[in-house]
Structure 1
Amino acid sequence: MERIVLGKANWLVEHGYEVTIITTEQNGRSAFFPMHSSIKQFDLGINYSDYNEASFIRKFFAFLVKRRLHKRKLRTFLNNIRADIVISTFGNEVGILPSINDGSKKVVEIHFSRFFRIQENRKGLFSLVDYFRSFCDKRNASKYARLVLLTNEDVKHWPKLKNIVVIPNFTSITNETSNQNTKRAISVGRLTYQKGYDMLIHIWAKVVQRHSDWHLDIFGSGEDEQKLQDLIMQYSIPKYVTIHKPSPMIVQEYLNSSIYLLSSRYEGFPLVLCESMNYGLAPVAMACKCGPKDLIIDGESGFLVDEGDIDTFVEKTCQLIENKSLRERMGRIAHQRMSQYFTPEVIMQQWTQLFDEL
């Protein structure tokens, strides 16, 4: 989310827009990705994450207090800057923003898909909260001038809303692509339940039984790191899988790989899949909700596998490993598809058209 928000913000200031980014829990940290010097950034200091590890009751009441503080600070800030358009990224401000009468048009963009809260698969009372908040999401989204979705697939999950527009994310297009010579598969993302790395490690354990000269590199951090490391040891494949910290030099990692593997249980728009296809990697992806089906033409620019179908995922991965010409052809088509439909110029023209309409 940070990468695409900053990418859009950088493009906008370079094209004459004034941009302010408002955060709630930056805690003095600088941005991970480059930020144009003309962008103004202000942190409200709400820090919802202070209570991430608290009990349900304590977290619930702390949330109510922080939400009240959030609304007061946000209202004051927006009334001071008098923006023309204010965009929510579907964070904790999503239910607050429409009631702030600062004269701006309100837009909400969701970086996931419709039922992302339920798909997190939390247990107990948190599960009930996720169902309730998912119900509220549609009501909140209806109050905005526009609801921006990332995929056409997700549109059907928001029935009867008349304010929907689909604008996917973009990737910076390059002519430099993988030469498909490296016996390496790659996956990039947070080490969480969502990304399905537990399934991917299971898949790779089966792959290396047939192709022990190939290696899988996973780049990411998150709460499941130790669990995944334990799983690698359980399958006795530490020689064949390595988990790396996130890298700001991820471009070079793409170029030094031949296959991209996406094992997510759910997505909004898998930007890393978009990026890897841009660098000419042949992808194998779970056809989860939502995103992969908008990016990959099955059998042409990669392979789509039914959700949770580990055996087919293994077979498609081995098919790419065993056939370099197939990898090269799919990688070439994948790169061409990104160059045609997902460039910053193509996508940001859709955003500026939306701004002009509003």
Structure 2
Amino acid sequence: MNSKLKVGFLLSIITERGGIGRVTSIISKELNLNPNFDIHIISYAKKKQNSYDWNNNLPYHYLLEDQIPMKKGIFTASKKLRKIIADNEIDILISCGAIVGPLGVLATLFKNTKLIYWSHSSFKGTSNKQFRMFNEHFTAYFADCLISLTKTDEFNYKNETKAKNVVQIYNPIDKSLQHNNITYNTESKKIISVGRLTAQKNFETLIDVADIVLNKHHDFTWDIYGSGEEEEMLKKKIEEKKLIGRVNLMGQSSNLYNLYNDYAMMVMTSRYEGFPMSLIEGLACKLPLVSFDIPTGPNEIINDGLNGFLIVPFDINAMASSIETLVKNKDIRITFSKNNPKFIQEFNLSNIIQKWTSLLNTL
């Protein structure tokens, strides 16, 4: 009988609040149900509190006690990681995101362990960030396989890096969302946006859009779920625009799945994305979707005019106008909501786990 395939997922922090942590918790938990796999979770830095529903039965490894910049900690961490790989006979290491890409390369160099680089950000969206682009190209060159989240980035990585093998696999919808009987709330007068309060998510522009929409439609409010370094700046802008109580910073929530039914639509204003988990969660919860048509992600989830609107980046007036169309027309909201299930199959967890299983077995 063949021994189990031992697979390690390497993250910057296993408990971080963001798309990488969320989707890795889903994929690792599901793969661990396969008796042929032995899954390990490895974190660059240790944090005391988990944010997502991680499987407590998985083995967890920490490379450093404190989160220090990768440039300072990479060599110490790589030595520890090499030992973890050896002690646990890891067959495949998966570097989850650009920040831990080079760490995965150093840890698997001259070893039999295969390296997968699982990209979690838009290749084009990060092209102006020198350190991240070095990580992308360096890791792509050494990895045995690169997983892109979108078809657009599959093309980009194949044509603009020296990656040996590029495979596209979508992030999945959590099966707890896919198999529940969600009913769209036709009477809601609330808009939801979800994401870290960082420059990438572009909530500053969201407030400009909200200023137009909410000053015309006083019965609607807009809630933003997330935390991050731009919180104080956003609070000040909300105050300056006299939108206190209308645009609400709700903080981090571990209960989002149960909150989506309170909302009429989901809006995303990001400057770039790898593959936006919040949008597929909105899709699964039958929310009409509105997003800037940034290079990767939204246009593979939103079918313009069928289940939402794609807006030319970063046209504030056009986005406000599209949101107003939904605000004023309940029938369009209901139609978009009814159309969402038609587009969900590509993100079905069982289909995506099959692709992961096939890839890991092939390597």
TM-score, length-scaled by structure 2: 0.88
Q: What is the Cα deviation at residue 289 of structure 1?
A: 2.5
Secondary structure at the aligned position of 2:64 is classed as coil
Contact 1:46 1:70 in 2 (8 A): no
Q: 1:92 & 1:194 partners in 2: Cα distance?
A: 16
C-alpha change, 1:312 and 1:346, in structure 2 (3 Å) is same
Quick one: which amino acid aligns to residue 23 of structure 2? Answer: I
Q: 2:236 & 2:100 partners in 1: Cα distance?
A: 37
Q: 1:201 & 1:162 partners in 2: Cα distance?
A: 43
Contact 1:178 1:254 in 2 (8 A): no
- Asked if 1:7 corresponds to 2:26, the answer is yes
Q: What is the Cα deviation at residue 71 of structure 1?
A: 1.3
Q: 2:132 & 2:310 partners in 1: Cα distance?
A: 31
Q: 1:6 & 1:212 partners in 2: Cα distance?
A: 39
Quick one: which amino acid aligns to residue 140 of structure 1? Answer: T
Q: How far does the alpha carbon of each residue in 1:13-53 deviate from its partner, in whole angstroms, 9 at most, with x for none? A: 122221110001123x1321122232111111164x445xx
- Asked if 1:210 corresponds to 2:216, the answer is yes
Secondary structure at the aligned position of 1:243 is classed as strand
Q: 1:84 & 1:136 partners in 2: Cα distance?
A: 23
Q: What is the Cα deviation at residue 178 of structure 1?
A: 2.1
Contact 1:142 1:163 in 2 (8 A): no
Contact 2:124 2:295 in 1 (8 A): no
Contact 1:277 1:335 in 2 (8 A): yes
Q: Which residue of 1 aligns with 2:205?
A: 199
Secondary structure at the aligned position of 1:93 is classed as helix
Question: Sequence identity of aligned pairs in percent?
Answer: 27
Give the aligned CA root-mean-square deviation in angstroms. Answer: 1.7
Q: Which residue of 2 aligns with 1:347?
A: 352
**Correspondences of 1:1-358 after superposition (within 5 Å):** 1-16=20-35, 17-27=37-47, 29-45=48-64, 47=66, 49-50=67-68, 63-99=70-106, 100=108, 101-118=110-127, 130-158=129-157, 159=159, 161-172=163-174, 173=178, 174-338=180-344, 340-358=345-363
Q: What is the Cα deviation at residue 105 of structure 1?
A: 1.6
Q: How far does the alpha carbon of each residue in 1:220-266 deviate from its partner, in whole angstroms, 9 at most, with x for none? A: 10000010011111111113111111111111221110110000000
Q: Which residue of 1 aligns with 2:15?
A: none
Contact 1:46 1:66 in 2 (8 A): no
Quick one: which amino acid aligns to residue 347 of structure 1? Answer: I
C-alpha change, 1:193 and 1:133, in structure 2 (3 Å) is closer
Q: 1:104 & 1:84 partners in 2: Cα distance?
A: 5
Contact 1:85 1:105 in 2 (8 A): yes
Q: How far does the alpha carbon of each residue in 1:151-180 deviate from its partner, in whole angstroms, 9 at most, with x for none? A: 011123221544111001011213313222
Quick one: which amino acid aligns to residue 78 of structure 2? Answer: K
Q: 1:317 & 1:292 partners in 2: Cα distance?
A: 16
Secondary structure at the aligned position of 1:147 is classed as strand
Secondary structure at the aligned position of 1:247 is classed as coil
Secondary structure at the aligned position of 2:318 is classed as helix
Q: 1:156 & 1:8 partners in 2: Cα distance?
A: 24
Q: What is the Cα deviation at residue 335 of structure 1?
A: 3.0
The count of residues paired between Structure 1 and Structure 2 equals 334
Contact 2:63 2:77 in 1 (8 A): yes
Q: 1:113 & 1:146 partners in 2: Cα distance?
A: 17
Q: What is the Cα deviation at residue 64 of structure 1?
A: 4.3
Which runs of 5 or more structure 1 residues have no equivalent in the other structure? 52-62, 120-129
Q: How far does the alpha carbon of each residue in 1:321-342 deviate from its partner, in whole angstroms, 9 at most, with x for none? A: 111111111112123312x111
Q: 2:295 & 2:92 partners in 1: Cα distance?
A: 29
Q: 1:306 & 1:337 partners in 2: Cα distance?
A: 22
C-alpha change, 1:303 and 1:4, in structure 2 (3 Å) is same
Contact 1:186 1:217 in 2 (8 A): yes
Contact 2:125 2:295 in 1 (8 A): no
Q: What is the Cα deviation at residue 181 of structure 1?
A: 1.3
Secondary structure at the aligned position of 1:300 is classed as coil
* Greater mean deviation of Cα atoms: 224-233 or 98-107: 98-107
Which runs of 5 or more structure 2 residues have no equivalent in the other structure? 1-19
Secondary structure at the aligned position of 2:152 is classed as coil
Q: 2:99 & 2:223 partners in 1: Cα distance?
A: 34
Q: 2:273 & 2:356 partners in 1: Cα distance?
A: 21
Q: What is the Cα deviation at residue 116 of structure 1?
A: 4.5
* Greater mean deviation of Cα atoms: 296-305 or 88-97: 88-97
Contact 2:117 2:139 in 1 (8 A): no
